[in-house]
Amino acid sequence: MATLKEIRKRVSSVQNIQQITKAMKMVSAARLRRAQEAALAARPYAEKLEAVLQNLAAQGEELAHPFLTERAENNTTLIVMTSDRGLCGGFNSSLIREAEAFMRQRTEQKVSLILIGRRAYDHFKRRDVTIAEEHINLYGRLSADLAHDIGRRVGEQFLSGETDSFYVLYAKFRSALVQVPTLDKILPIASTPQTEDQSALDYLYEPAPQTLLASLLERYIDMLIYRAMLESVASEHGARMTAMDNATNNAVEMIDRLTLDMNRARQAGITRELLEIVATGESLKG
């Protein structure tokens, strides 16, 4: 059995850890609120842009664009969005598992990775994979400029034939407890059947529809990447807040158990001292 001094040291160390996890939980909760607001605010814009784009693409076959053209997927580019820091439960490991499953399904294709976040980079740099780009040590500061730069480069590669498809893997935010690994296909852009309400809309386009289509497609690609970034940041903070809350609760339970052990050790020490006193007294009488 551990001594009283050892138990007290363990209680003190666990209390220090509890203070750290509680502080990290509060920080993540504050950041989660802002990240969640940004992610939710981006969804209506994305939905409306997609509706306009689908309406425009359905105007006629003459409004064709290379970004809308399906072709055989021999070369694929995948963005994997993880965090730079750990201590967020299974947030990173679930995304890395999904990325590895994606590559296993495409063993006959050449898959190039664009890694956002140190956790993904540290994992894949030691494996036999092609890393086209890495963006690390951003610590959640994922900007629209970064999304635009990535979208522009990948768009140029798609037009030149260097890549045949472009996917993004991220954690979609549902709540602080639930973050869903999500795989979205960015290029080529797939047209979805329009509903009756969407078909009834008759837009007047200015400038010409073909010119507008090219501009909207570029904005649409940037928007999909940036929305995935916002969802990923919100999911990271939600996962970390939940993980730190669980760690704090576990620390409280451990402190209670250690306190009970400490009391038992103290009582055992007192009992032993009393027995020694009584035994000494009896020996003096004899």
List pLDDT tens digits, range 156-177. Answer: 999 898 999 999 999 999 888 8
194 SS3 class: coil
End-to-end CA distance of the chain, in Å? 34
Q: Which two tokens stand for residue 217?
A: 């497609």
- Our measurement of the distance from residue 32's CA atom to the centroid of its chain's CA atoms, rounded to an integer in Å, reads 12
pTM summary value: 0.82
CA distances (Å), origin 263, targets 9, 11, 21, 260: 14, 12, 26, 5
pLDDT at 197: 53
Integer Cα distance of 187 and 75 in angstroms: 12
Integer Cα distance of 58 and 7 in angstroms: 72
Cβ(230)–Cβ(42) under 8 Å?
yes
Integer Cα distance of 278 and 131 in angstroms: 76
Integer Cα distance of 279 and 213 in angstroms: 97
Q: What is the mean pLDDT of residues 276-285?
A: 79
- Judge whether residue 245 has pLDDT over 60: yes
Integer Cα distance of 100 and 149 in angstroms: 25
Closest CA to 151 of 229, 73, 99: 229
- Which domains can be identified in the chain, with CATH numbers? 25-242 (3.40.1380.10)
Q: What is the mean pLDDT of residues 202-220?
A: 75
CB-based burial, 56-77: b 16+ in 10 Å, e otherwise: bbeeeeebeeebbeeeebebbb
Q: Any catalytic annotation for residue 110?
A: no
Q: Which two tokens stand for residue 209?
A: 């529809």
Q: What is the pLDDT of residues 17-29, one digit of tens each?
A: 999 999 999 998 8
The residue from 39, 88, 187, 228 that is catalytic is 88
Which helix (H) or strand (E) segment holds residue 106: the answer is: none
Cβ(208)–Cβ(60) under 8 Å?
no
pLDDT at 205: 65
